[in-house]
Amino acid sequence: MQKEIKKIAVFTSGGDAPGMNAAIRAVVRAGLYNHLEVFGIMRGYEGLIDNSFKTLNSKMVSNIIQQGGTILKSARSKLFMTKEGRKIAYNNLKEKGIDAVVAIGGNGTFTGAKVFQEEYNIPFVGIPGTIDNDLCGTDYTIGYDTAINTAMQAIDKIRDTANAHNRLFFVEVMGRDAGFLALRSGISSGAEAVLLPEISTHLQNLHLYLETGFKEKKSSGIIVIAEGEEEGGAYEIAKKVRTDFEDYDVRVTILGHVQRGGSPSAFDRVTASKLGVAAVEALLLGENDVMLGTKCGKVVSVPFSTVIRKDKKIDQKLYDLLTVLNY
């Protein structure tokens, strides 16, 4: 028989993403609406071990929906990766009488939640929060839309100076092993080429484009590169191009962590709010060991095992648009 849930906790873990605060707000308000006591855990799994809990009320989450970052902070915990660390975390949860947990984060966050739940049978439900949008089972992750717009606006500004000086800019965006952010920001900013880690991109193909189509049509341009691209980062690729094309004025811009910050977009705020409320409802209905995502605008429940095990694929048709749009 399922234990009645009276107290829940919420935390954010891994890289911060715009919209995490909106999700926290939704979890707290939905918990209070359902007559639950809600705790916030500071600094993710590290706070779970350090016993950094605080009771959250409605006023404490007022005026945070528009804020980037996370009021609960975030951290990575090596100690939680050990059985000893997880035992401490469990004891802290039991001491507070917490019956279930909402974890907001990415793949690493859900991996930790799955292991912990299997060991101690405490219900966990996940909300996808990462600008990379690399989690299987959901169309969008919280923070992805804001990060795309941040990158797009930065690239638009870079294009202005590229046009003014007839320069070829290599712009590196975040994504590590995932090119979703690079692809959409590249298409939306009219980039001449986008290099992704998921697609086998040989440097000679870029060279061929620069030798033929590019020179015929443009005197300046933007090449967007995902930081995990197989040929190397923006500096490495620009160095190779600069050697082979001495007549090009090649420049590099690394957008970096600016993509994680800023006020979340309306889309991220609404998505975070939907998933935050859905997470509380799922726990009350007895669901656990799942991530709540969105598919075609609907909230869906996806087992942690699926999210962790499967790689999300790039939309090949979206990538193929680049060839048409740069014809």
Q: How far apart are CA 70 and CA 23, in angstroms?
A: 10
Task: Give the per-residue pLDDT at 216.
Answer: 64
First to last CA, the chain: 62
Q: With a cut of 50, which residues of the chain have pLDDT below it?
A: 1
Task: Identify the CA nearest to 314 among candidates 176, 199, 185, 146.
Answer: 199
Whole-number Å distance between alpha carbons of 262 and 277 = 23
Q: What is the per-residue pLDDT for 295?
A: 97
Q: What is the pLDDT of residue 242?
A: 86
pTM (predicted TM-score): 0.95
Write down the architecture of domain 144-260 according to CATH.
3-Layer(aba) Sandwich (3.40)
Position 133 scores a pLDDT of 97
Decide: 125 and 288 in contact? Cβ < 8 Å: yes
The reply to whether 144-260 shares the fold of 7-143+264-309 is yes
Strands 100-105 and 7-12: parallel
Residues in the chain: 327
Distance CA 254, CA 163 (A): 19
Q: What is the pLDDT of residue 326?
A: 80
The pLDDT value given to residue 197: 87
Nearest alpha carbon to residue 278 among 5, 9, 26, 99: 26
State the pLDDT at residue 1.
Answer: 46
CATH class in words for 7-143+264-309:
alpha beta
Active-site residue set = 132
Distance CA 10, CA 280 (A): 10
Question: For the chain, what are the domain ranges?
Answer: 7-143+264-309, 144-260
Q: What contacts 123, CB < 8 A, 6 or more positions away? A: 5, 99, 100, 101, 117, 283, 287, 288, 289
